[in-house]
Structure 1
Amino acid sequence: MTSSNAGGSTAFGAGDSALGYLYQIRVALLTSLRRIDPGSDADFSIYLETLDDVVFESIGTPLELFQLKHHINSQANLTDASPDIWKSLRIWIEGRASGDIAPDDRLILITTHAVAEGSIASRLLAVSRDEVCAVTVMQATAQTSTNAINKPAYELFLALSKQEQAALVSSIVIAPSSSNIEQVGQDIRHEIRLTVKRDHIDSFLSRLEGWWFTASLKHLIGGSKVPINSGDLQAQMDDIREQLVSALPVDNDILEHMVDMTSYENEIFVHQARLVGVNDRRVLAAVRDYYRAFEQRSRWVRENLVMVGDIERYELTLCEEWDLTFNRALDDLGQEEAEAAQGQMAKMIYQWVETSCYPIQKNVDNPSISRGSLHMLANDLRVGWHPQFMSRLQHLLGSRMQTL
C-alpha cells in the first residue's frame, strides 16, 4: 500500500491515505506515459492495488511491481531499518512464497526519501549496485534491529536460504528521492510537452488526468480485475489532441453532470419554456442544455481555446437564425391573435430550438452547445419562443437586475 508521512492531515489538505492513493494514480500515469512507444503496437496493462501498488504487465516479459512510499518530509534518509524497505520486502517475500510473484518479476521501491551512502538502499539503485553487500547488511539488520514494526519482515527474510535471499535482492531496484505528488504533476506536464502546442498543454493535461483518474477509479471499484490498457491511454491522448487541433473539446464531466432543476426555477429561460407549455421533462432538458453550454463555453474561454469575440460572433449567428425562423412563423400567423394560434407558433419555434445544431466551430457538433446557447440568449430575452414573449416576460429581466 502506498504510504505517506505519519499524522493526521497534511500540508496538501488531504488525509495521508487519500494522498497516497492520489500519488499512486499519478505515478502510474507518469510511468505509463514514459513507457508508451509511438513506434510500436505492443500494448501493456496497468493494475492498481493487486500484487503491489502498481503493476505493469507486458506479454512475454516479467511483471514490474512498484511499491510507492510518499513522504511530505522528503529530506530524511532511508535507514537500514526503514519500514519503507522492510514492509516492501515482507510483501514481496510473501508474494514469491505464494507463487503470485514470479522469481524473475522486477520489484521496484519508489520513495521520496533520499538514501545515505553505504546504506542498504544505496547498494540497490538502478546503477552502481552491490547486491552481495546489501544482503550482508540486511542479514545483520534483521538479526540486530529492535524495530518491532519490522519484526515479521525480519523473520521472513532470515527464514530464506542464502540463495533465496540473493535471488530476492537481485530482483529489487530502489528509486530514492523520487518526485512528490506535486512534482509528479510537473513531470507529467514535461512528458506531454511535445504532444500538443504549447498554449494547449494545460487543456490537454487537465483532460488527460481527468480521464485517467476516472479510469483508475472504475478499475479500483471493479476490484482491479480489468486492467487499464495502454492502448486506451494512447487512444484518449489522440482524441484529446485531435479535439484541440481541429475542433473544441466537449468534456464528459460537463455532459454527465446531474443538474439540480430547483436551482434554475426562477431563470428567465425556464419561464420562456413554461410560457410555451412544454412538459416538465422538456423543461429539464432545457436546463441540462443551458448548464452544458454555459459551463463548456466558460471553460473554453478560461483555457483560451476561444476568445470572447468568437462567442459574440456565434451568438450573433444564433440570433440571426432565430430571427429568420421567428419572423417566418409570425408571417404564417398573420393577423390571427387568438391564444391558441400563438401557442401553436410558440410550440413550433420551441421544436426548432430542440432540433437545432449550429456548431460554434467546425466539428463541434454536440447539439447541447447549440440548444443551450439559445437558452442562454433566451435568458437575456434576446430571443424568445412565444410571439408575445417580450411583453409577457420583460418584467422578469427587471426583477433579475434588481437582485444582482
Structure 2
Amino acid sequence: MSSATTVGSGSHSAVDAALGFYYQSLYGLLAIVKATEDDAAVCLERLDDVEIVLNGRSLLVQLKHSLSKKPAAVSVASVALWKTLRAWIEVLPKVSLDDMRFQLVTVAPLATGSVLSPLLDEMTSRAGLLSVLETEAHRVVNEHAEAKKNGRSPLPHVERLPGCLAYLALSNATREKLLSRVTIQPAANDINKIQRDITNALRHFPPDQRDLISQRLMEWWDLQIVYSFCAKRERFITRLEVQERLLEMAGELATDELLADYRFEVPPDDHSPPSMIATQLQLVNCTSFEIRSAQREEWKARSQRHKWMKERADMAARIHRYDEYLVLEWGDRHGPMAEEHQSATEDEKQAAGLEIFRWSFKQAHQEVDPFAKNWSASYYVRGSYQVLAVEKSVGWHPDFVTLLKGIA
C-alpha cells in the first residue's frame, strides 16, 4: 500500500510516489516520538501505509498526501475515502477486528458540517454515517451498472467502484463494527511541515539543539526503515530504540567527542594524491619533502572528513562552516602579503608565498580555533588547507589565481 501524493492536478510521477513514501516514513517517526506508551512501535507497508502499536492494539493508518495549496475537501464522494475503506476491508480476514483501529490521515480539509464529521471523534455515533455510506455505495454501483448496460463510455465511478462493492459485501454488523473503529484526521501537515513537527516534539532537549537532533534522528530513522525492508532488522521499530538513539545523540552533543582516527595512519601504497597539491606548492618552490608531507596530510584530512560525514548527519554542514573559517584565517594573511608584493620580483613572491604555506602547515593548527573542543590533532587543519588548495579556495603564491587559471 502507498499513500497518494499529488504535486499538481493529475500528476502521478515517480517524484510524487517518492514524496508519498517519505511522508509515510516521517509520519511514523512523528508518531513514535510523540508516543507515551512503553510498547509503542511503528511498521511501514505491512498491513497498511503505517501501522502503529499502542498498548497492545494496532492502529492502521492510511495517508493521503498532497502539496496542493488548496486540496479538495474530503467528502462521502471522495475517491480517497472509498479506496481507504477497500484497503481496510481487504485486511479484515488477516486480523482480529476487536484489536484494531483505523485512521485516515489527509492533508485535505473536511468541510464544515460534513456527514463524515462523526469520524473526528471515536466516541461519536456512526449510525447516520452508516446509512449515508450505504446509500452512496448503492448509487455508485447502480450508476456504473446502468452506464455499462447502455454502452456509455467512459464508465462513471471506476475508481470508487471496488471500494463500494467491498463495503456492500460486508454484513451490517461488520460495517458497524468497522466504522466504530475508524477516525479521520483532516488538514494534516504536509511533508514540508511534518519535519518541523518532529523537531518541535523533541521537548526534552534544549531548543537550540532540536534542529540538529531531529536532523540526525531522521537520518538514523531512514536507515532503519531501509533495513526493515531488507530483513536486516525487525519490521517494527520501537519507541525504546528511538529513545536510546536520542540519548546517544544527546551524549554526543554534550561532549562533542571526536576521535582522531587518522593520527597514526599513512596513505595506502596505491594512493594517488591530487596533482593540484604539487602544482600549488611548486609555484612557491617547496621542497620535495614538504610536498610529500602535504600530500600525506591531505589524505588524512580527507579520509577523516569522509568518515565523519558517513557516521554523523550533522558533519557535512560543520565541515563546510569550518572550511569557511579556515579560508578567512588564510585570507587575513595571504591578502596583505599579495598586496605588498604586487611589484616584487618573482623570487620575492615565491619566498613570501612559501611562508604562507609553512604557516598553514606548522603554525595554523596552534593559532586557529580547533574543529571541536576536544580536538588537538594537527593533521586536520594541515590537511584541510591542502583540500582547500586542491579546490583553489586557497593558495600560496601571491598570484596563484592567475597562474592556475585553466589548470584543473
TM-score range, shorter chain: 0.5 to 0.7
Cα offset, 1:364, TM superposition: 6.0
Cα offset, 1:307, TM superposition: 11
Partners of 1:402 and 1:82 lie apart in 2 by 67
From 383, 397, 402, the equivalent of 1:375 is 383
Query: Do the aligned partners of residues 220 and 293 (structure 1) sit closer, same or farther apart at CA in structure 2, a change above 3 Å counting?
Result: closer
Q: Is 2:171 the counterpart of 1:161? A: yes
Q: Is 2:137 the counterpart of 1:134? A: no
The corresponding residue for 2:79 is: 83
Letter of the 1:403 partner, please give it: L
| Cα contact 1:96–1:102 (8 A) shared by 2 | yes
The corresponding residue for 1:21 is: 21
The corresponding residue for 2:44 is: 48
Q: Is 2:322 the counterpart of 1:299? A: no
Q: Is 2:199 the counterpart of 1:189? A: yes
Partners of 2:31 and 2:72 lie apart in 1 by 24
Q: TM-score, length-normalised on structure 2?
A: 0.66
| Cα contact 1:87–1:150 (8 A) shared by 2 | yes
The corresponding residue for 1:256 is: none
The corresponding residue for 2:244 is: 235
Query: Do the aligned partners of residues 278 and 394 (structure 1) sit closer, same or farther apart at CA in structure 2, a change above 3 Å counting?
Result: closer
Cα offset, 1:189, TM superposition: 2.2
Letter of the 2:303 partner, please give it: R
Letter of the 1:116 partner, please give it: A
Partners of 1:364 and 1:102 lie apart in 2 by 57
| Cα contact 1:25–1:216 (8 A) shared by 2 | yes
Query: Do the aligned partners of residues 274 and 293 (structure 1) sit closer, same or farther apart at CA in structure 2, a change above 3 Å counting?
Result: farther
Cα offset, 1:265, TM superposition: 4.0
Instruction: After TM superposition, list the pairs within 5 Å mapping 1:362-401 onto structure 2.
Output: 371-377=379-385, 399=400
| Cα contact 1:29–1:212 (8 A) shared by 2 | yes
Task: Spell out, residue by residue over 1:313-343, the C-alpha distance to the aligned partner (whole angstroms, 9 max, x if none).
Answer: xxxxxxxxxxxxxxxxxxxxxxxxxxxxxxx
Query: Do the aligned partners of residues 233 and 270 (structure 1) sit closer, same or farther apart at CA in structure 2, a change above 3 Å counting?
Result: farther
Partners of 2:324 and 2:253 lie apart in 1 by 14
Partners of 1:223 and 1:169 lie apart in 2 by 36
The corresponding residue for 1:198 is: 207
Task: Spell out, residue by residue over 1:2-61, the C-alpha distance to the aligned partner (whole angstroms, 9 max, x if none).
Answer: 112353379xxx821111012111111111111046xxxx24321111100111125x61
Q: TM-score, length-normalised on structure 1?
A: 0.66
Cα offset, 1:227, TM superposition: 2.1
Query: Do the aligned partners of residues 71 and 279 (structure 1) sit closer, same or farther apart at CA in structure 2, a change above 3 Å counting?
Result: closer
Quick one: percent identity of the two aligned structures?
22
Partners of 2:123 and 2:72 lie apart in 1 by 22
From 217, 226, 246, the equivalent of 2:226 is 217
Query: Do the aligned partners of residues 379 and 16 (structure 1) sit closer, same or farther apart at CA in structure 2, a change above 3 Å counting?
Result: closer
| Cα contact 1:269–1:378 (8 A) shared by 2 | no
The corresponding residue for 1:123 is: 118
Letter of the 2:85 partner, please give it: L
Partners of 1:85 and 1:239 lie apart in 2 by 41
Q: Is 2:298 the counterpart of 1:288? A: no
Structure 2 residue ranges without an equivalent (≥5): 144-156, 260-270, 282-287, 330-360, 362-368, 390-394
| Cα contact 2:120–2:185 (8 A) shared by 1 | yes
Query: Do the aligned partners of residues 133 and 195 (structure 1) sit closer, same or farther apart at CA in structure 2, a change above 3 Å counting?
Result: same
Task: Spell out, residue by residue over 1:54-91, the C-alpha distance to the aligned partner (whole angstroms, 9 max, x if none).
Answer: 11125x61111110011223442112121211111111
Partners of 2:307 and 2:380 lie apart in 1 by 7
Cα offset, 1:267, TM superposition: 3.0
**What is the count of residue pairs matched by the alignment?**
322
Structure 1 residue ranges without an equivalent (≥5): 251-260, 313-348, 350-357, 382-392
From 247, 265, 283, the equivalent of 2:256 is 247
Letter of the 1:32 partner, please give it: I
The corresponding residue for 1:33 is: 33
The corresponding residue for 2:10 is: 7
RMSD, aligned CA: 4.2
Partners of 1:191 and 1:216 lie apart in 2 by 20
Partners of 2:279 and 2:309 lie apart in 1 by 13
Letter of the 1:162 partner, please give it: N
Cα offset, 1:363, TM superposition: 5.5
Cα offset, 1:143, TM superposition: 0.3
